């Protein structure tokens, strides 16, 4: 918050999303910030290149376009600074790398997005970091690992394949007490429905690729935080030479303007589809934390302000081949591994390829559904027709 905004009453999220990151008076009255394509920034004289006191110094260090998106994210997350990364994965990896040194231990939730796991197993281990995965629901095991030391702890809730809801306030408080820097992949909830910094988490990370940008047409990541934790992220980000092209930054900013309009719609559609699935005798579990009776519902209700449109289901007594045939016959759901866009998607992840602390039951193959903005009645009809193959 700068001096000009310090006096202002705290705005509600819809107002923030409409007004943050805009300063028409700085751009000849134009409502939106310019899309600044830039490497070189000129200085008035050589002394200026040495003191670097002017606001913009080089394309990679920030532009009015990147500042606008960072301002929006800072207002949403309650953070001092946001770093923009070229992908959601790059946001996860830069945050992790910033918080550990050779010889440190890092604790990572077993349900973490699997390329983040791959970075930890490969890059971090190669540089002498001990990587330990923990079952997010097993508090005793987590506490035991903390006793052995942890420089950082990485959370994700709910998991984006299996949708366990970790008790983030508990895990975070324990990790902080043990001296760890804490961070969470907050992509599922968006900052509208979960604000990690309010729970004491140091860094909130998003694949803005998903809901924040919202249109399945770009990749972008964000890391938001305060103090030393985000300063270290910024330093690692600088050292790695990360940058995001201005068109993708602008398109993400444009996405933020309707985030509060889209999210409740995703939740409403997902609830209707999840409730219909829950009542169908062919369906085993509906792993949608917003659904009463679903795993993690009580914690979701306690800590989250809403739910997005991504969840998974299992089927009763069906083989993987039968379920695959059903998914292949869906007409409105594209077969795709991403989520958070306007369109519905279905996928069948091989969960145990990416687990080590606790295996997912082999006899419960998962179908993950990203519920989009179609009419939910059409989505339900599509599922019903495809499920006739079971
Ligand atoms: C939970 C989660 N985090 C991070 C990412 C990575 O985002 P990106 O594809 O922008 O690298 C994904 C992508 O699917 C994801 O599902």
- Residue 31: burial class (beta carbons within 10 Å; 0-12, 13-18, 19+): exposed
Using the predicted structure, report yes or no on whether residue 198 has a pLDDT greater than 80.
yes
Tens-place pLDDT, residues 176-185 = 999 999 999 9
CA of 160 from ligand 1 middle (Å) equals: 9
Using the predicted structure, report yes or no on whether residue 4 has a pLDDT greater than 80.
no
274 lines ligand 1 (CB under 6 A): no
Does residue 315 belong to any structural domain of this protein?
yes
Does residue 14 belong to any structural domain of this protein?
no
Residues 107 and 240 in one domain: yes
pLDDT of residue 1: 46
Residues 193 and 279 in one domain: no
Tens-place pLDDT, residues 25-72 = 999 999 999 999 999 999 999 999 999 999 999 999 999 999 999 999
Distance of CA 101 to the CA centre of its chain: 25
CATH of the domain at 240: 3.40.640.10
| Overall average pLDDT of the 172-199 stretch | 98
CA angle in degrees (0–180, nearest 5) for 310-311-316: 155
CATH of the domain at 282: 3.90.1150.10
Tens-place pLDDT, residues 288-305 = 999 999 999 999 999 999
Whether 60 is catalytic? yes
Last residue of some domain: 256, 275, 304?
A: 256
Does residue 131 belong to any structural domain of this protein?
yes
Residues 332 and 357 in one domain: yes
pLDDT band at 6 (very low <50, low <70, confident <90, very high): low
Residues 206 and 295 in one domain: no
Verify cis geometry, omega within 30 degrees of 0, for the bond prior to 125.
no
Residues 269 and 287 in one domain: yes
Q: Which of 57, 4, 44, 11 is nearest to 26 (CA)?
A: 4
Does residue 337 belong to any structural domain of this protein?
yes
| Overall average pLDDT of the 6-16 stretch | 84
Whether 126 is catalytic? no
Whether 113 is catalytic? yes
Sheet of 221-225, strand order = 81-85, 221-225, 203-207, 181-185, 152-156, 105-109, 130-134
Residues 337 and 204 in one domain: no
pLDDT of residue 363: 84
Compute the CA torsion angle 263, 267, 269, 271 (nearest 10 deg).
180
pLDDT of residue 238: 97
Does residue 43 belong to any structural domain of this protein?
no
Residues 103 and 180 in one domain: yes
Instruction: Report the nearest atom of ligand 1 relative to the CA of 338.
Output: 14
Instruction: Report the nearest atom of ligand 1 relative to the CA of 220.
Output: 10
Alpha-carbon span 33 to 210, nearest angstrom: 22
168 lines ligand 1 (CB under 6 A): no
Q: Which residues contact 305 (CB under 8 A, 6 or more apart)?
A: 192, 193, 194
What are residue 123's phi and psi, to 5 degrees? -60, -55
pLDDT of residue 389: 82
Domains identified in the chain, total number: 2
CA of 207 from ligand 1 middle (Å) equals: 5
Compute the CA torsion angle 283, 367, 204, 73 (nearest 10 deg).
-100
87 lines ligand 1 (CB under 6 A): yes
For ligand 1, mutation pick of 93, 187, 216 (most atoms within 8 Å of CB): 187
Residues 241 and 298 in one domain: no
Using the predicted structure, report yes or no on whether residue 9 has a pLDDT greater than 90.
no
Using the predicted structure, report yes or no on whether residue 2 has a pLDDT greater than 80.
no
pLDDT of residue 377: 98
Residues 243 and 270 in one domain: no
Tens-place pLDDT, residues 312-352 = 999 989 999 999 999 999 999 999 999 999 999 999 999 99
* Residue range(s) defining the domain that contains residue 201: 77-256
Does residue 24 belong to any structural domain of this protein?
no
pLDDT of residue 5: 58
Of 67, 135, 185, 382, the catalytic one is 185
Residues 184 and 220 in one domain: yes
Residues 323 and 244 in one domain: no
Q: In this structure, which residue's CA is closest to atom 8 in ligand 1?
A: 88
| Overall average pLDDT of the 153-180 stretch | 98
With H, G, I as helix, E, B as strand and everything else as coil, classify residue 345. strand
Residues 176 and 319 in one domain: no
Does residue 7 belong to any structural domain of this protein?
no
């Amino acid at each position: 918050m700068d001096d000009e905004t310090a006096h202002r009453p705290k705005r509600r999220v819809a107002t923030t999303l409409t007004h943050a990151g805009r300063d028409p008076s700085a751009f000849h009255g134009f409502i939106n910030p310019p899309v600044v394509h830039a490497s070189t920034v000129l200085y008035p004289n050589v002394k200026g290149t040495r003191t670097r006191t002017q606001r913009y110094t080089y394309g990679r260090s920030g532009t009015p376009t990147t500042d606008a998106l960072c301002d929006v994210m800072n207002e949403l997350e309650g953070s001092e600074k946001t770093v923009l990364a070229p992908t959601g994965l790059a946001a996860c990896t830069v945050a992790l790398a910033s918080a550990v040194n050779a010889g440190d231990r890092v604790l990572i939730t077993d349900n973490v997005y699997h390329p983040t796991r791959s970075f930890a197993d490969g890059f971090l281990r190669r540089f002498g970091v001990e990587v330990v995965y923990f079952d997010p629901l097993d508090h005793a095991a987590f506490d035991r690992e903390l006793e052995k030391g942890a420089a950082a702890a990485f959370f994700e809730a709910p998991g984006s394949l299996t949708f366990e809801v970790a008790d983030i306030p508990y895990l975070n408080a324990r990790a902080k007490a043990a001296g760890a820097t804490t961070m969470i992949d907050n992509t599922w909830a968006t900052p509208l429905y979960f604000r990690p910094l309010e729970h004491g988490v140091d860094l909130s990370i998003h694949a803005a690729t998903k809901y924040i940008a919202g249109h399945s047409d770009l990749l972008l990541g964000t890391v938001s935080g305060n103090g030393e934790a985000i300063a270290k992220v910024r330093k690692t980000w600088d050292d790695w030479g990360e940058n995001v092209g201005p068109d993708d930054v602008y398109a993400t900013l444009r996405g933020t303007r309707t985030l509060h309009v889209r999210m409740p719609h995703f939740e409403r559609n997902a609830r209707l589809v999840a409730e219909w699935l829950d009542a169908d005798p062919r369906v085993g579990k509906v792993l949608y934390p917003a659904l009463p009776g679903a795993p993690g519902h009580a914690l979701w209700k306690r800590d989250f302000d809403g739910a997005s449109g991504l969840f998974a289901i299992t089927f009763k007594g069906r083989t993987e081949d039968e379920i695959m045939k059903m998914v292949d016959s869906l007409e409105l759901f594209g077969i795709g591994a991403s989520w958070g866009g306007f369109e519905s998607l279905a996928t069948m992840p091989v969960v145990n390829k990416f687990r080590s602390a606790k295996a997912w039951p082999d006899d419960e193959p998962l179908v993950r559904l990203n519920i989009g903005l179609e009419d939910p009645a059409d989505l339900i009809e599509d599922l019903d027709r495809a499920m006739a193959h079971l």
